[in-house]
Amino acid sequence: MVAQASLGTVHLVGAGPGDPDLLTVRAHRLLSTCDALVYDALVPTQLLALPSPDCHKVFVGKRRGHHSIPQQSTNKMLARLAHTHKTIVRLKGGDPFVFGRGAEEATYLHGLGIPVQVTPGITAGIAVPAYIGLPVTHREAGSSITFVTGHELVDKGRQRVDWQALATATDTMVIYMGIHSLAAIVAQLLAGGLDAATPAAAIQQGTTALQKHVIGPIAALPQLVRESGLQAPAIVVVGHVVDQRIPACAPPLPNVDMPIPLSGPTTAARRS
């Protein structure tokens, strides 16, 4: 058995939502110095050029016509790399601990005695709205905010998110992975007492050159999304903060896009 001291450290690193400028300084330093890099979809391709050419790079995301590598295989691969490499970066879109399975990987590695550290990233739920000038809190319009996944609705045959309860429990709702189930989510929110006129926005591939958004009353949002052809990955924001938008403060979009996962419930967007 390899002595503890000889094990490499696995860094769970947030890549930010797309614009490479939104990488943290710490993430930049780790990417520039790592000797192994494990990454999946929703990671800006430009960041993959930061490590040295002899860095061992492994893609564990979805490829056209294939499923993504099961989580358990990724866990095992990270553990193996810790025995052969010194600084392993596990790069994840946005923040590793926000709907990113970062905690599952950290728990697994820690359980094996492998050093693991997290480097937070800028999560899509905050940055993507900001890139259309939309604040997710506001003294007048949003004192509470809920980050919620829309994936669970179709994923497990059971429902973990109580949408009807959420409808009146929070000022701002930021929905990740919600685009495919949007009609069902909105129906439940309305059934739970959400005002049909509540302003809402859906933003696809935010902070990249392919950013696109629609805005309208929540009851109309599914139709607006359908008509505009807006696709995953997208963030949906529901709440009166949407009326507080200051479009002029949105940063210019970078001339970059991101690899889009090619199958699965969050991945309708396909490149031709």
Catalytic residue IDs:
40, 62, 177
Q: Which stretch binds ligand SAH (CB under 6 A): 54-62, 79-87, 93-101, 160-168?
A: 93-101
Is residue 131 part of the contact set for ligand SAH (CB under 6 A)? Answer: no
Is residue 93 part of the contact set for ligand SAH (CB under 6 A)? Answer: yes
| Binds ligand SAH (CB under 6 A): choice among 20, 95, 163, 244 | 95
Is residue 205 part of the contact set for ligand SAH (CB under 6 A)? Answer: yes
Q: Which stretch binds ligand SAH (CB under 6 A): 59-67, 87-95, 159-167, 237-245?
A: 87-95
- Binding to ligand SAH (CB under 6 A) within 225-254 occurs at 232-235
> Rounded distance, CA 17 to CA 139, Å?
26
- Residues ≥6 apart with Cβ < 8 Å to 140: 240, 244
Instruction: Rank residues 199 and 206 by Cβ distance to ligand SAH and give the closer one.
Output: 206
Instruction: Rank residues 40 and 109 by Cβ distance to ligand SAH and give the closer one.
Output: 40
Least distance from ligand SAH to the Cβ atom of residue 101, Å: 9
Question: E-strand spans in the chain?
Answer: 9-14, 36-39, 56-59, 87-92, 116-119, 145-149, 172-176, 199-204, 212-217, 234-238
Amino acid of residue 220: A
174, 193, 162: which is closest to 127 by C-alpha?
A: 174
> Rounded distance, CA 61 to CA 244, Å?
37
Q: Binding mask 32-61 vs ligand SAH (x if CB under 6 A, - otherwise)?
A: ----------x-------------------
Tokens 């429902």 correspond to what residue?
Answer: 159
Q: Which two three-digit tokens encode residue 62?
A: 């979805």
| Binds ligand SAH (CB under 6 A): choice among 7, 177, 230, 260 | 177
- What is the number of other CB atoms lying within 10 angstroms of the CB of residue 85? 19
Bond prior to 233 in cis (omega within 30° of 0)? yes
Is residue 166 part of the contact set for ligand SAH (CB under 6 A)? Answer: no
Positions touching ligand SAH (CB under 6 A) are 17-18, 42, 92-95, 98-100, 123-124, 128, 176-177, 203, 205-208, 232-235, 266
